[in-house]
């Protein structure tokens, strides 16, 4: 009698299906969303300052301090990579149809845009090198020639998806009730203000930190959802 009470019946066991391998990636994605945001903030804050937005001053800024250029490029490269991969898991937070399509679109646009940024950031090494090895006129001419190519223009346009995609993704998650609507505000505000402000590493690092508030919230939701599902599995 006691043995029968303590041993789960076959029907009870059948009601608890094993978690999929994909669901176990959710906390990893949550950590990547949080960690990637922090790397991005650090990368922006570590960016070499430029005297102006002209091509000559931009090249000179990257050539001036190779160590700082390398640090910033590495932080931004891996920060954007972590964010791109993490966004692909965001639609898993949506239950039901409400907000699902918007979240999927935002997640895909974010992944494409952010992955493209990881490649574009690697140009910082090349830009700094031509600034160090060539005279200013030759460096600027070569820089403008490369930037004028069709491939670079297309890649540059795709990086804009890394800015638009998260706004769409957060809107979808808010519509689905995963996060509050007010969390969309920091992302939009940071984006608008950064577009209207001359570049400054510390200032733009602060903008990035404000814009990352919803990413922190979504990352925590991913971790919490995984723990909740693990507890009931």
Residues 56-93: tens digit of each pLDDT = 999 999 999 999 999 999 999 999 999 999 999 999 99
pLDDT in tens, 5-49: 445 555 544 455 566 666 778 999 999 999 999 999 999 999 999
- Are 90 and 218 in contact by the 8 Å Cβ rule? The answer is yes
pLDDT in tens, 142-175: 999 999 999 999 999 999 999 999 999 999 999 9
pLDDT at 25: 86
**0.75 cut: is pTM over it?**
yes
pLDDT at 5: 44
- Are 187 and 166 in contact by the 8 Å Cβ rule? The answer is yes
């Amino acid at each position: 009698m006691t043995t029968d009470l303590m041993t789960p019946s076959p029907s009870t066991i059948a009601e608890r299906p094993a978690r999929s391998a994909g669901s176990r990636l959710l906390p990893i994605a949550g950590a990547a969303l949080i960690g990637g945001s922090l790397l991005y903030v650090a990368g922006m804050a570590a960016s070499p300052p430029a005297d102006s937005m002209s091509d000559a001053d931009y090249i000179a800024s990257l050539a001036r301090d190779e160590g700082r250029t390398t640090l910033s490029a590495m932080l931004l490269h891996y920060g954007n990579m972590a964010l791109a991969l993490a966004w692909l898991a965001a639609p898993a937070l949506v239950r039901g149809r409400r907000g699902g399509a918007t979240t999927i679109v935002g997640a895909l646009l974010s992944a494409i845009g952010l992955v493209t940024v990881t490649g574009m950031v690697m140009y910082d090494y090349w830009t700094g090198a031509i600034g160090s090895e060539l005279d200013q006129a030759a460096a600027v001419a070569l820089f403008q020639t490369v930037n004028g190519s069709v491939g670079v223009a297309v890649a540059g346009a795709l990086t804009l998806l890394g800015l638009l995609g998260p706004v769409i993704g957060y809107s979808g998650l808010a519509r689905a009730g995963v996060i509050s609507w007010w969390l969309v505000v920091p992302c939009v505000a940071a984006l608008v203000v950064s577009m209207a402000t001359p570049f400054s590493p510390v200032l733009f690092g602060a903008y990035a930190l404000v814009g990352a508030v919803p990413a922190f919230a979504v990352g925590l939701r991913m971790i919490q959802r995984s723990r909740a599902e693990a507890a009931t599995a």
